[in-house]
Each structure stands twice: as C-alpha cells, then as structure tokens.
Amino acid sequence: DAKTTQPNSMESNEEEPVHLPCNHSTISGTDYIHWYRQLPSQGPEYVIHGLTSNVNNRMASLAIAEDRKSSTLILHRATLRDAAVYYCILRDGVGGYQKVTFGTGTKLQVIP
Amino acid sequence: KAGVTQTPRYLIKTRGQQVTLSCSPISGHRSVSWYQQTPGQGLQFLFEYFSETQRNKGNFPGRFSGRQFSNSRSEMNVSTLELGDSALYLCASRFEGLSYEQYFGPGTRLTVT
C-alpha cells in the first residue's frame, strides 16, 4: 500500500506562508493526493486534492512534483485558526478508501 | 445543510461489553465510512458502506461490524470490548461522483475500562 511521510511538527508565524511537505515515493498512477486537517476536538476536514497538476482553492494550494513522489500544501497566510494536524493521504482513484492510511500527520503551530 | 452527526459523543464501557455507535450523514450522501483514531496509530480505516452494502473493509477483527440503513444512516458495533478499543471513532460521508472529499463528524469518544 502506498504510504506518505510527513514531518511530525512545524511552526509558522501568523500572516506568513506555510509550506507543508509530504513524501509519497511509492505513489501509483491512479492515486490521488488528498490533504485533510484536524482542528483540536474536531473531526478532520477536507482541504484540497490533486492528481498531477497544481491545484488552488479558497483554503490552500497544492504543489505536486513532476514525478509525483512528493507534494507540498501551501497556506498563503497562516492564521491562528490554521493551527491543526495536517494529513497527507493517497487515495486510489479507482477504488475506495480501504487502503488509505492517514498516519499521524504534521502538527502545525501558528505563532502570533 | 447540516453536517455529519454522531451519537453519542462520549461513552464509557467495561471490558467484555458491546457498544453501538450511530452516524447520520449529510443529506444526499450515500457513502459512509468509519475510522478509528488513537494517539499511537493515527486514523485507521474500518469500513465503508454504500447503499446498505459494505463496500470496503480495513484490517480490523470481526468484533467490529457495521450496517447502513435505507436512509443512509449507519451504525457500527463493537462486541466483546477490549481496553485497546478505547479511541475516537469517526464517521465520514461523501457524495458519490466526481468529488472525492469526505466530510467527517465530530466523533464518538469511547473509553473502555
């Protein structure tokens, strides 16, 4: 099963951009890269996903390496409400979520 | 639109008992997945239901089971509880189609003593 590797924790100053890395060297051609985040005492929430091209939405941007073995979630201006655990996961575009491993993610601390 | 709701939010059980957790998906969502979250293992996929049928299953023992009703509401059951079953159980729903994102509920915190 394809797995992802993320740093355990990162810090960012408020109002500054944050780049959260994720390595997925065993990604397959049909795997989508998804990012979720989990705020304290809440369930995870969807952030963004992509397959090959970079993606943007109102929450963040996703930069995907050309060989797809790594990706970076970009928060353009970190706010205190962005303090959360960020999960990078791979989801088979053909199947369901049965092979998805969320792991322990990256805990982002935002410093005021 | 109301989000995913889970009941109860907190539960304390003793070893050997069984427990049933409930999940109501977002209106119109027919896929419901269940996850177990523990500090050491992170989020682990339990199973997914779609149209009252279990579509996918994670690597959990048979003590963990679930079902889905015709209105897409889902329940999961854990029999013969063990101390290691203490966890946050999360339910997620999604709309079948081009969109793959899941919407999670707040979870049920189960403590087994």
| Burial class for A15, CB neighbours closer than 10 Å (0-12, 13-18, 19+) | exposed
Helix and strand tally (H, E) in chain B?
Answer: 0, 11
Q: Quick check: A102 contacting B, CB < 8 Å?
A: yes
Mutating which of A97, A101, A106 best tests the B interface, going by the most B Cβ atoms within 10 A?
A: A97
Q: What is the pLDDT of residue B13?
A: 98
> A21-39, pLDDT tens digit by residue?
999 998 988 888 999 999 9
Nearest-angstrom CA–CA distance, B46 and A49: 22
Going by C-alpha positions, the residue among A36, A41, A45, A44 that lies closest to residue A89 is: A36
Q: What is the pLDDT of residue B22?
A: 98
* Gap between the terminal Cα atoms of chain A: 39
Q: Nearest CB to A43: which of B57, B58, B104? A: B104
Q: Nearest CB to B58: which of A36, A43, A98? A: A98
> B57-101, pLDDT tens digit by residue?
888 999 999 999 999 999 999 999 999 999 999 999 988 765 578
pLDDT band for position B1 (cuts 50, 70, 90): low
Q: Quick check: B3 contacting A, CB < 8 Å?
A: no
Q: Are B102 and A103 an interchain contact pair (Cβ–Cβ within 8 Å)?
A: no
Give me B42's structure tokens.
């992170």
